[in-house]
């Protein structure tokens, strides 16, 4: 699997590189002390800071490497593996550079932004390891497009059947199909409740009024059709309603998978929406950190 | 406004079917999202594609940025519509019709019946990348905020200090660039005014910034006697040793020995070569043995007697001899069998005579009047026990003794016999008989007493007395002056109070442990410890059983400006 391949790339080569970097940094850090406290201002602090800054710049270059398909600078998988391990090492290198000193200043801001980027990356690794499997299981091996195609077919069939049904059923069926909410904004995709609605006809078969009500998980419209079933006395109409009922139950199953798929893919991507912009801003913060350090040398 | 939406769709039998929806709203939304007023699916139809705004005369259509529609076959992003106008959007047709009775507007909708599943899927926003959140704009926004708030505003607006709006609290200042808290004293004096010290951009803090306030600090060496430190290379800056923002170190002084040793490791390379020795640490081999500053009396003949001059002289402790001209056996005075306090009867201790100064290093100078006289009284007339011989004034002593005998020999109320027969201890009374005039008898008796005082039992007990036998009586005895050194290590410092408790030794035992006064019978013994005494308990490197000591625990980079060194300074021509 690709996601595991990144972590175990080339026999954990970059894991060992990173461990070596961490050990060397820790040794360098420990040579501070005595009468001069450890901080970013000692020569060891400057070395650790330089290493950290170069790491940040290199880690950001993954974004460039990914887009340059003709590059001969190693495979993207190798880069990604090194990105993961060296990014983790950066957390320790930068912490040693700062000697754990935090304050209300641009330096700590850069450090916290870096932590945010790295921890969002950790979450990203977690999702890459766990979610692809859940997503495949949720879709039962098929694709999202296949789910939508099935939904589209079911919708069209529901519309057809609705057109042949009594008006109240037709209103309910059409509105349920049209007002089925799938996805939406960031919040809706990740945690939002199902905002689907349908127009529940007031009462009576020939009523032309109705009220839009929640159709969460499609259960209300199923309940409505099922509730109408005993009130029909024509066999054709009963068969129609039974098929509609079946269609909506299948729609419900498909929609559950679709929304779960959207939620999982959202989780797999949301960290990138944080990881990438903040890492770009981190580069700016890093430059300000370095410039201001030397403006007020 | 009320709008009638009439959807027309062909049915299997070729007869169009109608479906009417009534909407009461001024704005109708158009797009592929399910929550739109009119949901249209198709290629290139956005989730929130356009808005139809109802006006009194007709309607206007306004597309979102990046989208367009065909209005009567013309591609537009916004248009004013009237009855009969046709909007085409992704294969769907919308036509404004004359408002039906009871409505303000009417729209006839013909939806594309050939929408396939892929278009259907595209109607929903199912990916985070389709949301309003754009990584690019987020990155730009954050970067821009950082550049403006964390760099440009502090750099160019703040610090102008003209009291304008730039100084308002909400504008981030260059204090946001601090790399750690200031020393509390500097925080109090400077606060957030970074420019007090950071005068020039990209330039390290210059000494001038420090000396603005610390104007009375002494340079490393005395500029009037030696070349200034500034002639050395590389030039140490104040900040070489005094690091600000040096979290978490609470002190401003870097105590690293290397700061001293880097230069002092090779004394020959120093501008003061020859006058000091090389130092590379604090051990027998790395640090020179101690040399004490002693006072040396130099006498020269002046008239009938001697004239004394005191020279300061640095000598190795191992060979140095105390030359105070005072006779004082420390061992006798510390022996409880031999000496006790006259008033209380207690044995004497170090503190009986040596009173620590407030600086915790030096001692209050010892004088006859404040320390010795409590036991060594200078009474001379048993009948008048309150009268004392004037200490330190030999001629006055002689006058006092003469006066005493003159009064006794010439006082008619005193029987001559009693005077003549006055018993003198240890003397044969017969020699005291006098048959001369009262004046002659008195001067003879006084001369004898003066001789005894200066050569047998009085002054001579503690002082060196030079006898010039040929001289007249007042010039016959010369007492060598006494000078006790007050500071043996002018360039070093030592906290006596802190050393009052040393391992298991406390109080006088601690004093004696280093100074060995209880074993000293001669006042020529120099009771100042050498480096080995310090090394018994101290080391320059962390060592078990030793206290770690750095250069500046005993030495000061900036010369002291105390009274003790001031005397040396002022003695310079």
The terminus-to-terminus CA distance of chain A in angstroms comes to: 50
In a domain, A216, yes or no: yes
| Mean pLDDT, chain A, integer | 88
What is the residue range of A231's domain?
Answer: 144-265
The answer to whether residues A271 and A235 belong to one domain is no
Asked if the B2-126 domain carries CATH number 2.30.110.20, the reply is no
Query: ipTM score of the complex?
Result: 0.85
pLDDT digit string, tens, across residues B337-353? 999 988 888 999 999 99
CA B369 – CA A7 distance, rounded (Å) = 88
Q: Which of B383, B400, B386, B519 is nearest to B459 (CA)?
A: B400
Distance CA A119, CA A112 (A): 10
CB spacing of A40 vs B179 below 8 angstroms: yes
Are the Cβ atoms of B198 and A297 closer than 8 angstroms? yes
Which candidate, B513, B493, B498, places its Cα nearest to that of B547?
B498
Question: Tens digits of per-residue pLDDT, B125-142?
Answer: 888 887 778 889 999 999
Q: Which of A101, A107, A181 sits opposite B248 (nearest CB)?
A: A101
pTM, rounded to two decimals? 0.75
- pLDDT tens for B478-518 read 999 999 988 898 878 899 999 999 888 999 999 999 999 99
Q: Does some domain include residue A74? A: yes
Let me know: does A263 contact A177? Beta carbons within 8 Å: no
| pLDDT recorded at residue B195 | 85
Cα–Cα distances in angstroms (integers) from residue B227 to residues A263, B275, B276, B550, in the given order: 78, 13, 14, 26
Do A116 and A16 have their domain in common? yes
- Least confident range from A81-95, B192-206, B228-242: namely B228-242
Residues of A within 8 A of B130 (CB-CB) are 183
Note whether A117 and A30 are same-domain residues: yes
Does residue B430 carry a pLDDT above 60? Answer: no
Nearest Cα residue to B52 out of B104, B8, B17, B101: B104
What's the rounded Cα separation, in Å, for the pair A188 and A196?
12
| Confidence check: pLDDT of B113 > 90 | no
**Residue whose structure tokens are 């700061």:** B259
A124 and A148 share one domain: no
User: Lowest-confidence range among B71-85, B98-112, B421-435?
Assistant: B421-435
pLDDT digits (tens, 9 = 90+) for A92-131: 999 999 998 998 899 999 999 999 999 999 999 999 888 8
Residue A135 inside a domain? The answer is no
d(CA B116, nearest CA chain A) in Å: 8
Task: Output b/e per residue, B94-116; b: 16+ Cβ within 10 A.
Answer: bbbeebeeebbbbbbbbbbeebe
**Which of chain B's residues have a Cβ under 8 Å away from the Cβ of A265?**
126-128
Instruction: Report CB contact under 8 Å: A153, B201.
Output: no
pLDDT at B415: 57
Scan for tokens 């739109």, then name that residue: B36
| Whole-number percent of chain B with pLDDT over 90 | 29
A-B contacts at Cβ under 8 angstroms: 165
Going by pLDDT thresholds of 50, 70 and 90, the confidence category of residue A201 is confident
Q: Are residue A212 and residue A277 in the same domain, yes or no?
A: no
pLDDT band of residue B561 (cuts 50, 70, 90) is: low
The answer to whether the Cβ–Cβ distance between B128 and A281 falls below 8 Å is no
Cβ neighbours of B139 in A, within 8 Å = 276-278, 280-281
Q: How far apart are CA B448 and CA B422, in angstroms?
A: 14
- pLDDT of res. B69: 92
Q: What's the pLDDT score for residue B13?
A: 73
> In this predicted structure, what is the pLDDT of residue B254?
80
- Check whether B453 has a pLDDT greater than 50: yes
Q: Is the peptide bond prior to B234 cis by the omega test (within 30 degrees of 0)?
A: yes
**Cβ density class B151-178: b for 16+ within 10 Å, e for less:** bebbbebbbeeeeeeeeeeeebbbebbb
Q: How many domains does chain A have?
A: 2
Q: How far apart are CA A183 and CA A266, in angstroms?
A: 10
Partner residue facing B255 (CB), from A35, A163, A180: A35
Q: What average pLDDT does this structure show over A168-181?
A: 88
User: Given A35, A99, A145, which is nearest B550 (Cβ)?
Assistant: A35
Asked if A295 and B201 come within 8 Å (Cβ–Cβ), the reply is yes
Structure tokens belonging to residue B142: 């954050």
Q: Is the pLDDT of residue A146 over 50?
A: yes
Contact B146 A34 (CB under 8 A): no
| Confidence tier at B373 by pLDDT (50, 70, 90) | confident
Q: What is the largest CA-CA distance in chain B?
A: 177
Is residue A85 located within the same domain as residue A24? yes
pLDDT for B158 beyond 80: no
A277 touches chain B (CB under 8 A): yes
Domain with CATH 2.60.200.20 in chain B: 2-126
Hey, what are B323's tokens?
A: 């030359």
Judge whether A137 lies within some domain.
no
CB contact under 8 A, A195 and B181: no
Q: Does one domain contain both A27 and A117?
A: yes
One domain for residues A166 and A93: no
């Amino acid at each position: 699997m690709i996601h595991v391949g990144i972590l175990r790339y080339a026999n954990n080569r970059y894991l060992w590189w990173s461990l070596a970097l961490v050990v060397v940094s820790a040794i360098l850090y420990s040579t501070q002390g005595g009468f001069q406290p450890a901080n970013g201002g000692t020569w060891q602090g400057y070395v650790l800071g330089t290493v950290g800054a170069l790491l940040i710049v290199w880690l950001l270059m993954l974004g460039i490497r990914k887009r340059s398909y003709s590059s001969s600078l190693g495979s993207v998988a190798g880069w990604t593996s090194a990105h993961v391990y060296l990014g983790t090492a950066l957390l320790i290198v930068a912490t040693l550079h700062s000697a754990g000193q935090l304050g209300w200043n641009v330096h700590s801001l850069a450090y916290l932004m870096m932590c945010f980027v790295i921890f969002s990356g950790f979450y990203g690794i977690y999702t890459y390891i766990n979610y692809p499997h859940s997503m495949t299981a949720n879709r039962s091996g098929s694709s999202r497009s296949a789910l939508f195609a099935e939904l589209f077919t079911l919708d069209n069939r529901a519309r057809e059947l609705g057109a042949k049904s009594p008006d109240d059923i037709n209103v309910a069926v059409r509105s349920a199909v049209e007002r089925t909410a799938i996805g939406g904004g960031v919040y809706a995709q990740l945690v939002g409740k199902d905002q689907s609605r349908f127009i529940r006809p007031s009462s009576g078969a020939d009523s032309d009024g109705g009220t839009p009500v929640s159709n969460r998980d499609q259960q209300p419209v199923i309940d409505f059709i099922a509730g109408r079933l005993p009130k029909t006395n024509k066999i054709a109409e009963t068969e129609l309603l039974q098929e509609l009922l079946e269609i909506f139950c299948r729609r419900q199953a498909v929609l559950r998978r679709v929304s779960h798929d959207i939620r999982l893919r959202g989780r797999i991507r949301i960290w990138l929406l944080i990881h990438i912009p903040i890492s770009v801003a981190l580069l700016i913060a890093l430059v300000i950190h370095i410039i201001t350090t030397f403006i007020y040398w | 406004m009320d709008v009638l939406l009439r959807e027309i769709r062909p049915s299997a039998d070729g007869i169009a079917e109608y479906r009417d929806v009534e909407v009461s709203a001024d704005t109708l939304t158009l797009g592929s999202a399910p929550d739109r007023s009119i949901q249209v699916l198709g290629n290139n139809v956005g989730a929130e594609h356009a808005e139809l705004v109802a006006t009194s005369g007709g309607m206007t259509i306004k597309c979102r940025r990046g989208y367009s529609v065909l209005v009567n076959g013309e591609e537009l992003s916004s248009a004013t519509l009237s009855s009969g106008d046709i909007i085409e959007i992704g294969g769907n047709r919308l036509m404004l019709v004359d408002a039906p009775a009871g409505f303000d507007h009417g729209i006839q909708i013909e939806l594309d019946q050939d929408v396939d599943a892929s278009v259907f899927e595209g109607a929903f926003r199912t990916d985070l990348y389709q949301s309003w959140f754009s990584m690019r704009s987020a990155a730009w926004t954050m970067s821009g905020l950082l550049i403006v708030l964390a760099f440009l505003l502090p750099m160019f607006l703040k610090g102008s200090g003209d009291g304008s709006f730039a100084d308002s609290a909400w504008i981030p200042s260059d204090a946001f660039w601090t790399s750690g808290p200031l020393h509390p004293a500097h925080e109090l004096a400077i606060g957030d005014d970074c420019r007090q010290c950071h005068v020039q951009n990209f330039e390290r803090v210059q000494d001038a910034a420090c000396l603005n306030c610390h104007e009375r600090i002494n340079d490393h060496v005395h500029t009037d006697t030696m070349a200034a430190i500034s002639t050395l290379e590389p030039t140490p800056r104040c900040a070489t040793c005094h690091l600000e923002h040096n979290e978490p170190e609470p002190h401003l002084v870097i105590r690293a020995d290397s700061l001293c040793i880097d230069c002092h490791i090779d004394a020959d390379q120093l501008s003061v070569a020859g006058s000091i020795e090389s130092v590379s640490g604090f051990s027998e081999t790395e640090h020179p043995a101690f040399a004490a500053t002693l006072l040396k009396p130099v006498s020269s003949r002046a008239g009938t007697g001697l004239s004394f001059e005191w020279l300061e002289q640095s000598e190795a402790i191992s060979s140095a001899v105390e030359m105070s001209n005072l006779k004082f056996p420390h061992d006798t005075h510390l022996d409880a069998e031999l000496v006790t306090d006259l008033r209380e009867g207690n044995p004497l201790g170090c503190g009986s005579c040596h009173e620590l100064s407030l600086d915790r290093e030096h001692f209050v100078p010892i004088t006859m009047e404040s320390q010795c006289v409590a036991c060594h009284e200078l009474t001379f007339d048993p009948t008048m026990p309150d009268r004392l011989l004037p200490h330190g004034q030999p001629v006055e002593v002689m006058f006092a003794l003469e006066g005493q005998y003159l009064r006794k020999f010439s006082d008619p109320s005193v029987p001559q016999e009693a005077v003549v027969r006055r018993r003198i201890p240890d003397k044969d009374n017969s020699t005291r008989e006098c048959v001369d005039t009262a004046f002659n008898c008195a001067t003879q008796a006084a001369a004898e007493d003066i001789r005894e005082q200066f050569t047998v039992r009085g002054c001579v007990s503690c002082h060196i007395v030079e006898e010039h036998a040929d001289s007249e009586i007042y010039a016959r005895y010369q007492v060598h002056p006494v000078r006790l050194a007050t500071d043996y290590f002018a360039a070093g410092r030592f906290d006596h109070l802190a050393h009052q408790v040393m391992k298991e030794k406390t109080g006088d035992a601690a004093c004696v442990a280093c100074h060995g006064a209880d074993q000293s019978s001669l006042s020529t013994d120099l009771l100042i410890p050498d480096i080995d005494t310090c090394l018994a308990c101290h080391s320059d490197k962390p060592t078990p059983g030793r206290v770690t000591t750095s250069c500046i625990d005993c030495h000061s980079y900036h010369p002291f400006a105390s009274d003790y060194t001031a005397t040396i300074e002022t003695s310079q021509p």
